Amino acid sequence: MKIAITGASGFVGKQLVPLLDASGATLLLVGRNPAKLTDLFPGIPVCNYSQLQEMAAGYDLLLHLAALNNDQNASLDQFRAVNVDMLLDTFARAREAGIKQFVDISSIRALDPKDHSPYAQSKREGTEALAAVTGPRCFTIYLPLVYSGQWSGKLAFLNTLPRPLAKSLFSVLKALKPTVNIAKLGAFLIDGGPSESRTVISDTQRQNWFFGFTKRTIDLAFAVVVALFFWWLGLLIWIAVRLSSTGPGLFAQERVGRDGRTFVCYKFRTMKIGTAQLGTHEISTSAVTPLGAFLRRTKLDELPQIWNILRNEISLIGPRPCLPVQTALVAARQRRGVLALTPGITGLAQVNGIDMSDPELLAEWDARYCASQSLLLDLRIALATAAGGGHGDRVRQETAG
């Protein structure tokens, strides 16, 4: 593979270039200061931006690492000059060189629509601008905190600790914020690069013992507290459901869980008996009982799911479990690795208003949660839900006439 790389003198570039070079890829490093690049990477061809069209003619991929990063104190216009204008100029040069793919490296911060920092805003604008141009296939790869065999920046102190202690402490830090080993990005590019326009690459938390232990402990603590101190509330709701409409107080429904295995999910019944087994977005408001509307709005209908939590079938935070008949969503989640996660009572998609009416979009948001999963993100989702969010699975509103 023939790869041109901009911004190779930055932290990611310094770690990534040797990996790609060792893999046998043909590299061309592009920068404003070619002499500096030669000093950093002797033996690898370099050029400036004006030489890109000639030197990189016919290359397979241009990897755009050059950016004004979020650690810089600059104005929004200064961020735009680099993260939008320079991005588009580099793309135009890549197009003239006949490069087949253009890959821009961004941060998962740019995926958060509520992050209005100059960096995140300019990176979002750059991605949108790329989507509007024609030429090489454009891709954006979103990365969390990048690390390699040695830690840098605020984590440099880990290099002074005994290796076992440093790795254990890093597991704790990784549980708080998502990370990615530079080797994973290198392997991804060597294996052919992205196939979707937007891809998040990270070290998932599935192998992080501290994250798994803490998340499970929080789930169990929540379930036990509800069972011990709010059993009376559950009893009152059950009685109210039974008295207010025909049918049982509890509603049991088969859902798709972790690794595609089905389980029975329990909730207080909020709909009339005989309502079709469909996705929530396909059911009209007329199917919801008056008490059910209140229970759904306040999320009190979810209380019986503490049984599912105790059985480790569901978590407080995770992708919302769907019905087995929602085959398009199951397939989309399977492709993106979402089914490896334990489903949740609320999740990232829900607090951002994404329902199950668009399986691909929902699976994309679920995959985004999978890649950016952390204890701090779970806390943000929980707080957003408590503040009234988490309504991504609203029932279909009826229209007059």
Strands 61-64 and 145-147: unpaired
Q: How confident is the model at residue 275 (pLDDT cuts 50, 70, 90)?
A: confident
Global pTM value:
0.84
Rounded CA separation 194/25 (Å): 17
| Amino acid, res. 8 | A
- Structure confidence by residue, pLDDT tens digits, 289-332: 999 999 988 889 999 999 999 999 999 999 999 999 999 999 99
63 phi-psi bin (left φ>0, alpha ψ -120 to 50, beta other): beta
Of 168 and 391, more confident: 168
The pLDDT assigned to 397 comes to: 53
Average pLDDT for the chain: 91
Q: Report which secondary-structure segment, H or E, holds 199.
A: strand 198-200
- The pLDDT of residue 107 is above 70: yes
Question: Token pair of 301, please?
Answer: 């209908």
User: Which whole-number Å values give the CA distances from 346 to 216, 316, 384, 387, in the listed order?
Assistant: 15, 6, 10, 13
Under 8 Å between Cβ of 84 and 28: no
3-class secondary-structure state, position 117? coil
Under 8 Å between Cβ of 317 and 381: yes
Residue with tokens 């079938």: 313
For 68, residues 6+ apart whose C-beta sits below 8 A from its C-beta are: 74, 78, 79, 81, 82, 83, 119, 122
Under 8 Å between Cβ of 222 and 315: no
- Structure confidence by residue, pLDDT tens digits, 165-209: 988 898 899 999 899 999 999 999 988 888 888 889 998 898 898
- The pLDDT of residue 395 is above 70: no
DSSP code of residue 397: P
- Structure confidence by residue, pLDDT tens digits, 221-257: 999 999 999 999 999 999 999 999 999 999 999 999 9
The Cα angle at residue 61 between residues 59 and 65, in degrees rounded to 5: 125
What is the per-residue DSSP string for 270-315? Answer: -B-TT--S--GGGSBGGGB-HHHHHHHHHTGGGGGGHHHHHTTS-E
What is the per-residue DSSP string for 30-91? Answer: E-S-HHHHHHHSTTS-EE-GGGHHHHTTT-SEEEE-----TTS---HHHHHIIIIIIHHHHH
